[in-house]
Amino acid sequence: MGFTEIFVSTHDAALKRAGILDDGGSPAAAGLRIPGISDFEIEQLGDLAGAAVHAGGADYELAMVDVASDSLLGVPPAMVRALAELLSYETEGEGNVLDDVAEQWAAQDDMPFDASEARKYVQQLAELAGAVDDADRTGLYVWSS
């Protein structure tokens, strides 16, 4: 089974990184590598995050960013915002929205990990989303094998 890697980058650097990953290499810069899932599971997470921060119905579909790589996808701005908001979103109940999203994501069909591992991934993904900076022309990218 393959893996999916999520990272913050400029467009040009994302294409270079995708080329390295396509060739089986390991990029120098760190990214979040999640084994056993595809881009589809990332889209599922986007839908769950959007619903959790009351931004459901937005476009959470990953999109191809360049014809040079069919394995590199861009995360839409609405999904980036929803993921980043998981870190600070306050609910009126006693539940932690990030924990709730992680539990729901882990409960999806054929997920290769449990809720505690999902929580680590969701936390890291939310932190990556929070690091996206329009001024630096960075975006959140997904590479899937």
pLDDT, one tens digit per residue, over 72-124 is: 999 999 999 999 999 988 666 656 899 999 999 999 998 999 999 999 999 99
What pLDDT digit, counting tens, does each position of 14-52 carry?
A: 999 999 999 999 998 889 999 999 999 999 999 999 999
| Alpha carbon distance 38, 3 (integer Å) | 7
Q: Would you state the pLDDT for residue 92? A: 63
In the structure encoding, which two tokens stand for residue 142, read together? 């997904």
DSSP-assigned letter for residue 49: H
Model confidence, pTM? 0.93
Strand 72-74: give its sheet, edge to edge: 32-35, 3-9, 139-144, 72-74, 63-64
Q: Would you state the pLDDT for residue 65? A: 93
Our CA angle for 101, 14, 39, nearest 5°, is 35
57/42: higher pLDDT = 42
Residue 56, domain extent? 3-144
Helices (H), 5-142: 11-22, 39-52, 77-85, 97-106, 115-130
Domain count of the chain?
A: 1
Distances (CA, A) of 108 to 48, 93, 94: 11, 24, 23
Q: Would you state the pLDDT for residue 124? A: 97
Q: Would you state the pLDDT for residue 122? A: 97
